[in-house]
Each structure stands twice: as structure tokens, then as C-alpha cells.
């Protein structure tokens, strides 16, 4: 491992440990609090190539309203997340935002629809979900989406291709929490699944993210532990020479 990767891995490991509190856990779903009003939800996707893969999403709660970024990997895990939000947090889920068309982002989408929760994605994500016979988000946007949760604005944007052609990202300015999904890599991780990737554009897209969201403090990748903005630098370096 190069000096760059060694130093960045050590730094992120230090800042990511001890800052998250587990507030719910069973065999299918774990929820960790990562800031005053933001949480990481983790569910587990069974894959042929990688085995059981822990997959991240983000939850934002404010004034009895909630926003979910990416569903848990299946409807059963999604039911636990919805139940925890509605019953234990006494909050209404205003929206679920799907950041790209893979199963680890929308595998539990039907459970949200069954509970009357509106879903959102880019136009391209909806098209790719349809093409691959996945559940389809109900509402679409092209480049950007603002959703107000308890009077606070959240931002979802598509800034370019990387892990997939359609990967969007989310930012909660009041928490300074950024959800990069599978576009952003955890410290020490490899390039992962490149089946639908644009590796030539990946680093440039993450550079645009850094310019667009300079105030990020907590970065949640699609898989692995959260860190700081150093995860963006790590991802850029990983794909600098595809």
C-alpha cells in the first residue's frame, strides 16, 4: 500500500471509530446514529461473487419527519426500518430517494410503496431499473432535488457517472452529512463491482462533488465505515489512473 493510502486509511479509521451509536440491531438490519439527526442504516445483500455484503443507506430525522436514502436490500429488512422510524421515532417518512439502480439501493422499494411512502430517483435510474426488472421509483428528477424535512432542506444531485451511469448523491447541510453511496469508497477498500461503471469518469465526478459540497464533515459510502471528506480524496486517488 502506498504512503498516501496508508496515511489516509489510518486517519479515517481513527475518526470513524467511537463516533457512531447503534440504536437498533437484528439479523437483517442495523441502525447507527452518526450525527444529531442522521443515521446510517445497514442491511445485508447475499451475492454470488462477494458473499454477504453489508450495504449502507442514510436516514435523516427532524421534527417528526424523515427522509431515507436508499432502501435496505429487501422488503423484510425495509419493514424493520420503516417500523423503527414510524413507531419508535414517531416520524412520518416523507420520501425515499434511490441513488442508483442496483439491488442494494432499491431492493426494499416495494415495502415503501406498500406503506404509501413516495419514492424518488433520477430519470436514468428509473429507466435502468425498468430495463433490469427491478422495482421502479415513482417520481423522477434530472439533475437535482430538494426535499424539506421538518423545515430543513436536503439536497440530492446527479454530478456524473462513476460506479454506475446514474449514481446520485445526497447532502444534509444542517448535519454536514454526505451520502455518496457506491460512488464513494470506504477507507482501504478496492474498486469493487465495475460491471456498470464508468471508471474513466469516476475520479472527475468525485472532484465535482468536492467543489459542490465543500462543507462536508461526515461521508457515508455505499459499503463500509463512514469517515470524513478524506474518503472523497481516497476515491479520487483510487480511480485517478483507471
Per-residue pLDDT tens over the stretch 41-69:
999 999 988 899 999 999 999 999 999 99
Q: Reply yes or no on whether 105 is catalytic.
A: no
Q: Give the CATH number for residue 184.
A: 3.60.15.10
Q: Reply yes or no on whether 104 is catalytic.
A: yes
Whole-prediction pTM value?
0.92
CA distance 80 to 69: 15
Place of cell 459499503: 223
Q: Reply yes or no on whether 113 is catalytic.
A: no
Residue 139: strand pairing partners = 120
Given 100, 126, 167, 198, which residue is catalytic?
A: 100
Q: Reply yes or no on whether 148 is catalytic.
A: no
| pLDDT tens column, 29-45 | 999 999 999 999 999 99
- State the residue range of the domain holding 156: 3-238
Model confidence at 6: pLDDT above 70: no
Given 70, 104, 166, 198, which residue is catalytic?
A: 104
Q: Reply yes or no on whether 182 is catalytic.
A: yes
pLDDT at 74: 99
| pLDDT tens column, 175-201 | 999 999 999 999 999 999 999 999 999
| Angle at 56 (CA atoms; ends 54, 57), nearest 5 degrees | 150
Distances (CA, A) of 200 to 24, 161, 232: 39, 9, 16
Given 30, 37, 126, 185, which residue is catalytic?
A: 185
Given 37, 163, 166, 198, which residue is catalytic?
A: 163
Given 30, 41, 102, 126, which residue is catalytic?
A: 102
Q: C-alpha cell of 208? A: 465535482
pLDDT band (50, 70, 90) for residue 4: very low
Q: Reply yes or no on whether 100 is catalytic.
A: yes
Helix, strand, or coil (residue 45) = strand
The count of other CB atoms within 10 Å of the CB of residue 46 is 10
Query: How many domains are contained in the chain?
Result: 1
Given 191, 193, 196, 207, which residue is catalytic?
A: 193
Distances (CA, A) of 189 to 10, 112, 140, 221: 13, 31, 31, 11
SS (H, E, C) 192-223: CCCCCCCHHHHHHHHHHHHHHCCCCCEEEECC
Distance, CA of 20 to chain centre:
16
Element (H, E) at 41: strand 38-47
Amino acid at each position: 500500500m502506498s504512503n498516501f493510502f496508508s496515511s489516509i486509511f489510518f486517519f479515517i479509521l481513527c475518526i470513524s471509530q467511537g463516533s457512531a451509536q447503534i440504536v437498533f440491531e437484528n439479523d437483517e438490519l442495523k441502525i447507527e446514529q452518526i450525527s444529531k439527526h442522521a443515521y446510517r442504516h445497514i442491511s445485508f445483500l447475499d451475492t454470488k461473487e462477494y458473499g454477504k455484503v453489508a450495504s449502507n443507506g442514510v436516514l435523516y430525522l427532524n421534527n417528526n419527519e424523515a427522509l431515507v436514502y436508499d432502501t435496505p436490500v429487501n422488503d423484510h429488512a425495509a419493514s424493520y426500518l420503516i417500523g423503527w422510524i414510524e413507531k419508535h421515532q414517531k416520524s412520518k417518512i416523507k420520501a425515499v430517494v434511490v441513488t442508483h439502480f442496483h439491488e442494494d439501493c432499491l431492493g426494499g422499494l416495494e415495502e415503501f410503496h406498500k406503506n404509501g411512502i413516495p419514492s424518488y430517483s433520477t430519470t436514468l435510474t428509473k429507466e435502468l431499473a425498468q430495463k433490469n426488472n427491478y422495482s421502479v421509483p415513482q417520481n423522477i428528477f434530472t439533475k437535482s432535488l430538494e426535499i424539506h424535512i421538518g423545515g430543513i432542506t436536503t439536497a440530492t444531485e446527479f454530478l456524473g457517472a462513476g460506479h454506475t451511469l446514474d449514481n446520485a448523491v445526497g447532502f444534509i447541510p444542517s448535519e454536514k452529512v454526505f451520502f455518496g453511496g457506491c460512488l464513494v469508497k470506504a477507507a482501504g477498500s478496492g474498486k469493487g463491482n465495475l460491471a456498470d461503471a464508468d471508471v474513466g469518469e469516476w475520479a472527475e465526478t468525485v472532484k465535482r462533488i468536492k467543489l459542490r459540497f465543500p462543507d462536508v464533515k461526515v461521508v457515508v459510502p455505499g459499503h463500509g465505515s463512514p469517515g470524513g471528506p478524506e474518503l472523497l480524496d481516497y476515491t479520487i486517488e483510487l480511480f485517478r489512473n483507471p
